[in-house]
Amino acid sequence: MKTRNRFAPILAACLTFGIALLPAPARAEEGMWMPQQIPQLAERLKALGFRGDPQAFADLTGQPMGAIVSLGGCSASFVSPDGLIVTNHHCVQSALQFNSTPQKNLLVDGFLASSRDQELTAGPGSRVYVTTSVKEVTAEITGKLDPKLADRQRHEVVERRLKERTAACEKDGLRCRVASFFDGLKYFELAQMEIQDVRLVYAPAEGIGNFGGETDNWQWPRHTGDWSFYRAYVSPTGKSVAYAKENVPFKPKHWLKISPEGAGSGDLVFVAGYPGRTQRFATYAQTRELAEWSFPRTVRRNAELIALLDEAGSKSKETVIRVATRKRGLNNTLTNRKGVVEGFKRGNLLAKKEALEKDLLAWIAADPVRKKAYGDVLPALDAVQSEKEKTRERDATVYDLLGNGSVLLPAAHTLYELSRERPKKDLDREPEYQERNWSRIREGQERLQRSYDPDADRSLLRYVLVEASKLTPGQRIEALDREAGLSAGISDADAAKKIDALLDRLYAGTKLGDKATRLALVEKSTAEILATKDPMIALAVALDPLWQEIRERAKTRDGAYERLGARYAQALLEKSGGLTAPDANGTLRVTYGRVLGVPGRDGLIYLPQTTLQGVVEKASGTGEFNAPKKQLDAIAAMKAGKKTPYADPKLGSVPVNFLSSVDTTGGNSGSATLNAKGELCGLLFDGTFDTVASDYLYDTEKTRSIHVDSRYMLWTMTEVDGAANLLKEIGEAPSLDVIRPAAH
């Protein structure tokens, strides 16, 4: 018999679905719901056949929600009483990169620790966040605000209250956040245990975990084994501490059983995780800027930056490893933004957004009470947006220079800013430089070493400098013009010469490429940092006044958004007259839907499941479709008659991926997909290219999310990678007896 999770009886009682009662319409279910909202959805869930207690989701310390965790950008869940965590393969790329060398490239070969002492640190800055409580604190944040406060002053008051509330919450190893919901209409305080010692346990080879690569990214059908395992460690006394040899596995109160039955067509499923951000409450003007300027700019930039990284990587295997995570992130965003831009054009979504806004304006104007309450909101929001757009080219380029271009110039600026903020009282510091973040800043400077390549870094910084040289009068970065000798109207050839001369000075003179130097500067005063006369620091210092000016204008703008956004959201909620999910904001959410196919192109219907047969059909032996030989051999053995309990009788093979109508977005990667028993039947890892624009205007007909089936995970662990220790830990070890003959 298979080992059973001791919570199985509770799960069965709380999460039992009547699948036979599912309705026929194949519509996506909009809403990334706060867990505490789920009980209010009881009637909707009942109509879908749900026969459990919706209150189970609202209990964040119970089953199953107590097993759901965040990795700070990806979602994950505990799957054993010894702190074993399952998430997506693409969510552990930084850990694979951190531990890779040209001689032992884990990014390509994968990794399996056959015992606890072989598990590898995921690297500085890796975290697991276990949510312990969520409570509303709206009155504490926006209560008794003087309505006469100017926008900048309002922002200052709200920010200080957020800091004070956060500081009061952060006790005994908790990491807290006060998050805004419905554009500032509501505020909730989230408390999480922050586990600092995270170790890599298992990741399949790239030919499984990233099978299809960028060719298949955001596409269907998929055949990607997008899963990996971490383990959370704490001190022997159960405290969250940094990596230490004596640390022991964390003992979660709840964990999920990985289902050997997976998910089938028509099944009702829930997804629990931490979606990043949607902007469905954005105004038409805000959405138009994204569709017509911001996202096309990102598509162009990312394509050009990827080409630069490819060129740098062609010279060295070490460089390929160092830039791998950055390149994959650029590629993922590139494909996503392409999908959004195309989705807006193909679906005429901007016109639909405009029509919805006009309808809202007409609804407001039709009633004197509503007109008084909301009549000035949209014009005021549009005015704020218009002001922001006046300097967007320059502001975005400054951000690229100091926040998102190379790694050395942003590092220099971070060290300089930290030195200026450190002498202040903690409540007076900029939020990112408060004492609670000092260890993270240090870890970032330490981890930077594994992704820094001088040639690649220079190429990326050169790209942004060339962009800056083309800015028009009125949008110029004057400090950069002085440092590099640039000016409006300069020819491309002359600009290139001056930029290359500046880069020669920067990279020949800087010592920031050395980890020990950077780490030493984390603790230094501003005077000591300036005394280094490091040219990279000097450039960051020269650019800082404009950075501060942009920040100050952003704070005034944020104050306006905080004042106006809540009223705008209130109008939308009042007009809808019903229960609505807030935009995703990186907090714990639950969404539900069914395993469903979707109409493709004209005359084409996509089925909801793929199988191992598709792996064989796509496997080319090279590039993105280089399935490991041992996997292909295992598939061949199964075709020859070898039995496996993970095959689906209806499909005649082991399921690989499946589509569902759940509502998800970036950050949901690694989210647990729960089946009828509350077991983990899959992992959410992607969405379809056709509907990525749903982050801005939801498509109820075509929106689909993509999951890896738990049966593919278990089959691969059994037949390909021989992860017997992990199978035993999660309660699947007896299956080995079924499919492997006894040793002779």
The average pLDDT across 111-137 equals: 95
Judged against a pLDDT cut of 60, whether residue 735 lies above it is answered with: no
> Among all chains, which residue has been given the structure tokens 């107590």?
66
The average pLDDT across 61-87 equals: 96
Q: Residue 51's pLDDT is what?
A: 78
> How much is the pTM?
0.91
Percent of the chain having pLDDT more than 90? 84
The average pLDDT across 628-644 equals: 96
For residue 741, what pLDDT band results from cuts at 50, 70 and 90? very low
Helix (H, G, I), strand (E, B) or coil at 234: strand
Judged against a pLDDT cut of 60, whether residue 742 lies above it is answered with: no
Per the CB < 8 A criterion, the answer to whether 356 and 350 are in contact is no
Q: Residue 734's pLDDT is what?
A: 46
The CA distance from 80 to 689, in Å, is 34
- Of 738, 744, 739, 743, the closest CA to residue 638 belongs to 739
The average pLDDT across 78-83 equals: 98
The average pLDDT across 221-231 equals: 98
Q: Residue 11's pLDDT is what?
A: 32
The average pLDDT across 634-651 equals: 95
- Torsion from C-alpha of 714, 716, 720, 724, nearest 10 degrees: -20
Judged against a pLDDT cut of 70, whether residue 3 lies above it is answered with: no
- Per the prediction, the chain carries an average pLDDT of 92
pLDDT in tens, 429-479: 999 999 999 999 999 999 999 899 999 999 999 999 999 999 999 999 999
**Partner residues linked to 360 by β-bridges:** none
For residue 27, what pLDDT band results from cuts at 50, 70 and 90? low
Catalytic positions are 90, 226, 669
> How many residues in total does the chain contain?
744
Q: Residue 702's pLDDT is what?
A: 86
The CA distance from 516 to 514, in Å, is 6
pLDDT in tens, 688-713: 988 888 999 998 888 999 999 999 99
